[in-house]
Amino acid sequence: MKKTNFVLLVLLMLVFPGLLSAKKKAGDNDECYKKEMLSLQKAIQKDFFDPVSGYYYVVLDSSKREVKDGYLREYTYLWSLCAMFQATNEIEKLDKKAKLMGPMIKNIDNYYDPAPPKPGYSDYIMNLKPGERYFDDNQWIGITALDGYARTKNKSYLKLGKLVYDFMMTGYDNVLGGGIYWKDTSKSSKNTCSNGPGVLVALQMYQATNEQSYLDTALLIFNWTNEKLKTPTGLYYDNIRTKDGSIGKATFSYNTGTMLESYVYLYEITGDEKYLDEANKIADSSLDFFYGGEKFRDGYWFNAVLLRAYQHLLKYNKDMKYIQGFKKCLDAAIKNDKNEKGLFTGRDGIQNLVEHGGMLEILARFAWIESHYDITNCDF
């Protein structure tokens, strides 16, 4: 290479660091994250799935399983299946022959609750002892179903998305000026975790149907969430209490993830640069806050939701710094948190299904990323 060309290349790399992680070259095929994904998928089925009942266990250690209302909750809450459902969707993107979403929906159907005003999903298995209906749990199911519809055009996925949309809107009212409650049995708070995903469900329904009412609803919830729960640094608080309007100021990665992806969807739908500009600002703030250290601040599943937003943003912002920052923490988790069974201890040391579903989704997404981009060697 001529000296002048070499100097120019170095200068370009310094000015545009994203060039260091260019598109994957033909023939590059390390697949280290795919191998980790397949290993974890196998371990989850071996250790968390009970073939006798057909249900998944909530945690592996039976002494850690919750007793609620005098009843042992041996099997998993719906939340964990939300994580597993999205993971199966990401695996199907990698392997078109994999038929994983259908069986997962059948498992989720055990939580279906037809109670008025609109049917939805209970947080626990209906024929054992049904619990409460959380709007966010239902929304995670809707998000995955609508992801699946966008990919396959399977109308049953759109029907499921519509069911979730109709249910979540029973949780919307004008208390505090708008917003969706956390669950249908309590009106004590309106949370980012039930409004950010609500925006996504509405935006995905708009993309699927082109019906303006869905976009109108999405913007209504989106604007309210930004007004009430956005932090000065561009992240998101956890909740606002209806009693006095006080703010629960915990800051979790999944809340920032849903709102960041909402900005990306709105740019995708409208073409308005203001949404992409703000998405980039939020991504920068989240990168510093959540991935500035050497390990994940939150549980794996919370981080999986923020990774969804980073991966979506990558379509319009080619700088790989968000993926690389996330990768540093992911590699540390694989290196330090995995045991001899191929399972993960998690932040609290308890091996539960929701965090394993979250890690499975993360690994599936990185398996896709490593097949399309050069993200350097796996550091584990």
- 3 state SS for 309-375: HHHHHCCCCCCCHHHHHHHHHHHHHHHHHECCCCCECCCCCCCEHHHHHHHHHHHHHHHHHHHHECC
* Residue 23: per-residue pLDDT: 60
CATH of range 3-372; options 3.40.50.300, 1.50.10.20, 3.30.70.260, 1.10.246.90: 1.50.10.20
Task: Please answer whether residues 119 and 167 qualify as being in contact, where contact means their C-beta atoms are separated by less than 8 angstroms.
Answer: yes
Dihedral sign (CA 32, 38, 43, 48)? positive
| Other CB atoms within 10 Å distance of the CB of residue 123 | 18
CA distances from 20 to 16, 133, 319 (A): 8, 46, 9
Q: What is the pLDDT along the chain (380 residues), one digit of tens a residue?
A: 444 444 444 443 444 444 444 565 433 457 999 999 999 999 999 999 999 999 999 999 888 898 888 888 899 999 999 999 999 999 999 998 999 999 999 999 999 999 999 999 999 999 998 789 999 999 999 999 999 999 999 999 999 999 999 999 999 999 999 999 999 999 999 999 999 999 999 999 999 999 999 999 999 999 999 999 999 999 999 999 999 999 999 999 999 999 999 999 999 999 999 999 999 999 999 999 999 998 999 999 999 999 999 999 999 999 999 999 999 999 999 999 999 999 998 666 779 999 999 999 999 999 999 999 998 788 88
**SS3 state at 307:** helix
**SS3 state at 190:** strand
Q: Is the peptide bond before 117 cis (omega within 30 degrees of 0)?
A: yes
- Helical (H) or strand (E) element with 276: helix 273-291
Which pTM value belongs to this model?
Answer: 0.92
